[in-house]
Structure 1
Amino acid sequence: MTPTLADRYRGRVVLLTGATGFLGKVVLERMLWEFGDCLRELRVLIRGDAAARLEALWPIQIFDRLRARHGGQRGFLAWVAGRVTACGGDVEQPDLGIGAGGVAALRQELDMVIHCAALVSWDVRIDRSINANALGTLRLLEATATGNPSLTHFQYCSSAFTHGQRSRNTAAGAKCLEVPFDPETSLAAELYPEREPLPFSVEAEIAAAQAYAAEAEARFAAERPLSAFMDEGRNRALTGDGRKGAAQIAAELRTKALEMDIADWGVRRAQSHGWNDNYTYSKALAEMLLMRNCPPAVHLSIVRPSGITACRTQPCVGWLDAYLLVEPLIHGVGTGKITAFPGNAEHVIDVVPADVVTSVMLAAAAVAGEEAGGAGVCGASCRGAPVSVYQVGSGNVNPVTLGQIERIWREYFTQHPMRASKGGAPVAVAPIGFYASAEAFASETRGRYLRPLERALWGLEKVPFWRSVPPLRAAWAKASRLARMVRQVLRLADLYCTYTLNEWVFDTARTERLMGAAGLAEADRASFCFEELREVDWRHFWTEVHIPFMRRYLLKEEDAPQPAAGAGGRAAATPAARL
């Protein structure tokens, strides 16, 4: 008889990271809801004042059903105090920033790690992304596994988009399989065998990123001092609202220029090896470091979700508290700022609700490798630890295309328009014009919008004493603001076009085995259900769940429509208790 998940979690000491982030909050709530009375202890690793930051989580909406179960906030706080321990620690620091003694206390009797913490940004400098996502993961593994015979499982939440250029748009494009990466082989060597392969190893890539960042900082110090940004700083300070001085603005501009320089180098480096951006590249490097360093006695599970959206049913319909992959695009469409974008309307956009991701994570942490056919195959560089890779995506079971999503969003905003400003006129939305390439979109946008604005700014700055003439100063401020907006759209398109011009088909066979009779007891398969992805009505999800919650609770639009009371398709069960 297959043990229930409650049986598998009973008496466990679990460490969770990333609990202050969007997905981490969903995992934390779900663990308490399903297994709060089974776990021996749930430790939560949080940077800074861990106790205060954990305490600040408990009043938020995501814990409403736990409050209701325990008779209100007071009863809930009393119950949770005996089950959850706040542990200070920062994966970006050696010894997690708590020293050898703190690390020893953290891992005492610890037998499971669920690692959700990540620096989720496509636009961050590569050395920061690697330090947080790749080296941070290695530090956590070493801190929890070294000298700890109790640890039996380490789970890493990665990304399905670590498959990089393994899309159907490449000559070698095919279904992206649930297999681990080889720490000695780049994707480019696999995808482009006709090319001369670049040397690749995970350690060399980390060293190269750190070396370039140091070189860029030295170069900026020598060639682009603060004085080089002062003219722009003075102009913005003079034409702005006066909250920042010229020196502060100049310093911010210089910092941004430096960070973009290092970020852009990282993107070029990632793309040369077959990945697309700094975030997914750093997550792939993290997987490789785990493959290289996970002890043989510790089972490693890697969960790769695709684009994570709002919760569908659990803990409540539509819950979301962060800008993720699609939210900037939704906001841009609704406000009329995005009227064209590089993309292929026929391509599948793979997204998955956060509660489905959480179901797979919690099932995998307890069951990984025990389901029929579930054991993974180690790469040549693995130290012998068993590894299982689980991908969580909808494109393989319930695909929706970019064109369908655009029509759904546009029809929604036609019926429920956003406003240009608080109390302002409703924004009229038009069909999005899709460009076949990022280059075509950028060329058109620069020629039609950016260059005329830059010429206007140049002409205004040639007028003597323009800063002293209010109408000219106001014209400069408006043109400068519009130019920055256009550059922001170009940057957004550059970052996101990978996901709108390409499509991936993520294999989910191992995940489906895990979440079916081969992995879960019958008592668990209603609440921990992967099959519900097949039944999602995407129109209902976007228009009644995700966008209404985003507008009302994330953007704080008081007059936005309320999210639906229930989700489309079959609702997931929410049991009263799992003891």
Structure 2
Amino acid sequence: MEIGFIANAFREKSILITGSTGFLAKILVEKVLRVQPKVKKLYLLVRATDSQSAAQRVQNEVIEQELFHVLREKHGKEFGTFIWEKISPIPGDIIHENLGIEDAGLRELLWKDINMIINVAATTNFYVRYDVALNVNVLGPKHVMKFAKSCSKLEVLLHVSTAYVTRDKPGLLLEKALSMEETLKDNLFFDIDTEIELVERRKKELQAGKPTEDVEKMAMKELGIERARHFGWPNTYVFTKAMAEMLLGQLRGNLPLVIARPTIITSTWRDPIPGWIEGIRDTDSVMDVIPGDMVINAMIAMVVAHSNQNAEFIYHISSSVRNPVNYEVLERSGYSYVAKHPRIGKDGKEIRMFKVPVFKTLDSFHAYLFLRHQLPLEMLRVVNFILCHLFSKKYNELRSKYKIVMRLADLYAPYCFLKGRFDDINLERLRMETRKHGDSHMFDFDPKNIDWDAYFHNIHIPGVIRKAIK
């Protein structure tokens, strides 16, 4: 497998990027423009009503971000000219046929010009409506694949998935493709069309009763969780991402397909600036995290390595095998950073900070919640009953908050208490090739190079705090 000089592989190439206003896609756009200014065109698919609105979204949500500071400094007064020569915002949406691109002439131009497609678009909410998740995460990739097959010069399609589509069990979780209709429960199978029909049927049943918008929304959310767990996945997000992998594998034909499966993506490590992040989603237990710039470096290497190779390739972009880190490091780094950089309140006084408890097991977390929250809440319920519902308002408020905490804990538990480790042997082979061709510094995706204590203390936690303050 010859990679050669990775940046040179993008020279005079046209790339379609979906989900272009999202966290990962922004890092990708910036990186490609910085390392290969002679890229021909980056077509950025944006949800917008027209070209002007699409351009405005790209300007506000992509180009004006701090992430582009290095590029802005490099090009100076010519920055705007350079950007708009290379970037072409396209109004559309992957949930529609032809990616929602209504202009037939524009579609023809894209089909003749595009060399690579990188599908980053997704809804990443763990507790999202099932109908929305099916549209974006399943039918969306299907439409991308169909569009890709119309591109006469296409060299590769890369689809961003998640490592959590695999069965979580002790030991190595392998980089292998999911089989169509395969579930994470033995002897249980499912059909994607049946799931889509189920959603439509359930929506009609709900709408017959004329529910409020909130009632329908909650019912669709719960249906997604119910179906995901019935088949062995922890939530709607990973369930629908698994479906997308299956569909793409079935539909690709001879088209070169790369599935990139990152774990938990954190702020950038160093490239182009340390600690850049968007959207905060935040023992002896190991957490599998990987900085966003390393994810992009790996994706770029994958695209170059597998252009014009008529096969499907699966990669975990992870850290739990090569450089595992536990929650104790995050806790220690967080407490150390806050102690050295205390927050000041509006009154000018230092805000007192307390150590957050870190739990080694889900059982210990549940025991803590029971003793500190559920038991006092139950006592309040009894007192409220004895005193003729004197504290009903307070009880209902606390009970509602407790239910939200328990739901969040339920959704995030599989990510916090991972049983296995994500094997990355395929990615290690790719790393070896990049080192062989001298690209490993510019396109570094080896988590062994990260000092986790330094990363969390000096980069990630300050980045998260800056984002929270904004």
Normalising by structure 2, report the TM-score. 0.89
1:393 aligns with 2:318: yes
Structure 2 CA distance for aligned equivalents of residues 289 and 51 of structure 1: 32
Pairwise CA distance, 1:392: 0.7
Q: Distance in 2 between matches of 1:312 and 1:178?
A: 24
Going from structure 1 to structure 2, the CA distance change for 1:2 and 1:60 (only over 3 Å counts) comes to closer
Q: Does structure 1 retain, via aligned residues, the 8 Å contact 2:160–2:259?
A: yes
Q: How does 1:294-373 map to 2 (within 5 A)?
A: 294-296=252-254, 298-324=255-281, 327=282, 345-368=283-306
Identify if the C-alpha distance between structure 1 residues 120 and 70 changes in structure 2 by more than 3 Å, giving closer, same or farther: same
Residue 279 (structure 1) aligns with:
237
The one-letter code matched in structure 2 to 1:26 is: I
Find the partner of 2:87 among 80, 84, 87: 84
Letter matched to residue 203 of structure 1:
D
Given the superposition, is the C-alpha separation of residues 490 and 184 from structure 1 closer, same or farther in structure 2, using an over 3 Å criterion? closer
The verdict on how the C-alpha distance between 1:183 and 1:420 changes in structure 2, with shifts beyond 3 A counting, is farther
Partner residue in 2 for 1:488 = 404
- 1:8 shift after superposition: 1.8
Cα drift, residue 111 of structure 1: 1.7
What residue in structure 2 maps to residue 556 of structure 1?
Answer: 469
Letter aligned with residue 503 of structure 1:
K
Cross-structure match for 2:111:
107
How far 1:213 sits from its partner (Å)?
Answer: 4.2
Q: Which runs of 5+ in 1 are unaligned?
A: 169-173, 190-196, 227-253, 328-344, 376-384, 464-474, 558-579
What are the Cα deviations for residues 489-514 of structure 1, in whole angstroms up to 9, with x where unaligned? 22221111122233331111111111
Give 1:240's aligned residue: none
Partner residue of 2:355? Answer: 430
Deviations 1:404-457 (A, max 9, x none): 333333343344445677856513313516354375456446523444566677
Paired residue secondary structure (2:136)? helix
- The Cα offsets for residues 221-266 of structure 1, whole Å up to 9 and x where unpaired, read as 3xxx55xxxxxxxxxxxxxxxxxxxxxxxxxxx61x4333322232
Contact 2:287/2:320, CA 8 A, preserved across alignment: yes
Q: Output one character per residue of 1:263-310: Cα deviation in whole Å (capped at 9) or x when no partner.
A: 2232232122221111111111111110011131x2000111110000
1:262 and 2:178 equivalent?
Answer: no
Q: Which residue of 2 aligns with 1:412?
A: 337
Q: Who is 2:177 aligned against?
A: 180
Q: Is the 8 A contact 1:176 1:504 kept in 2?
A: yes
The within-5 A match list for 1:504-515 is: 504-515=420-431
Secondary structure of the structure 1 residue equivalent to 2:173: coil
SS state of the match for residue 523, structure 1?
coil
Structure number with greater Rg is 1
What does residue range 54-69 of structure 1 map to in structure 2 within 5 Å?
Answer: 54-56=58-60, 57-69=62-74
Q: What's 1:502 paired with?
A: 418
Map of 2:120 onto structure 1: 116
Cα distance change of structure 1 residues 504 and 64 upon mapping to structure 2, 3 Å threshold: same
2:163 aligns with: 160
Aligned-partner residue type, residue 439 of structure 2:
D
1:117-158 deviation line (CA, Å, top 9, x unaligned): 111101111221121111111112212323x32112100011
State which of 179, 185, 188 in structure 2 corresponds to 1:198.
188
- What does residue 529 of structure 1 align with? 444
Question: Which amino acid in 2 is paired with 1:394?
Answer: S
Query: What is aligned with 2:40?
Result: 40
Structure 1 residue 355: deviation in Å? 0.5
Deviation at 1:393, TM superposition (A): 0.7
Residue 52 of structure 1: CA displacement?
0.9
Structure 1 residue 520: Cα displacement: 6.0
Show the counterpart of 1:543.
Answer: 457
Structure 1 residues 459 and 322, CA gap change in structure 2 (3 angstroms): farther
CA distance in 2, matches of 1:93, 1:64: 34
Match of 1:53 in 2: 57
Q: One-letter code of the match for 1:492?
A: L
Query: Residues 433-512 of structure 1: matches in 2 within 5 Å?
Result: 434=359, 436-437=362-363, 440=367, 443-444=370-371, 447-452=374-379, 481-512=397-428
Amino acid of the residue matched to residue 43 of structure 1?
Y
**Which residue matches 1:569?**
none
Q: Secondary structure at the match of 2:286?
A: coil
Instruction: Give the Cα–Cα distance (whole angstroms) in 1 for the partners of residues 98 and 385 of structure 2.
Output: 52
Q: CA deviation at 1:207?
A: 3.2
Q: Deviations over 1:522-572 (max 9, x none)?
A: 3322111223x11311111111111111112x1127xxxxxxxxxxxxxxx
Range with greater deviation from structure 2 (437-446 or 452-461): 452-461
Other-structure match for 1:93: 96
Tell me the alpha carbon deviations over residues 329-362 of structure 1, each in whole angstroms, 9 at most, x when there is no partner.
xxxxxxxxxxxxxxxx222100000010000001
Distance 1:539-1:270 versus aligned 2 partners, 3 A rule = same
Residue-pair matches, total: 461
Distance 1:477 1:550, change over 3 A: farther
After TM superposition, give the deviation of residue 59 of structure 1 in Å. 2.0
Identity %: 27
Whether 2:130 is the aligned partner of 1:126: answer yes
Aligned amino acid, residue 4 of structure 2: P
> 1:33: Cα distance to partner?
0.7
Q: CA 1:285–1:516 in structure 2 vs 1: closer, same or farther (change >3 Å)?
A: same
Provide the secondary structure at the position in 2 that maps to 1:494. Answer: helix
Gaps of 5+ in 2: none
Matched residues in 2 for 1:483 and 1:423: separation? 34
Go from structure 1 to structure 2 and tell me whether the alpha carbon gap of 1:440 and 1:526 turns closer, same or farther (over 3 Å shift): same
**Whole-Å separation in 2 of the counterparts to 1:458 and 1:139:** 56
State how far apart, in whole Å, the 1-side matches of 2:450 and 2:295 are. 14
Q: Which amino acid aligns with 1:512?
A: E
Say if 1:514 and 1:275 are closer, same or farther in 2 by CA, change over 3 A: same
Q: TM-score, normalised by structure 1?
A: 0.73
CA contact (8 A) 1:266 1:277 kept: yes
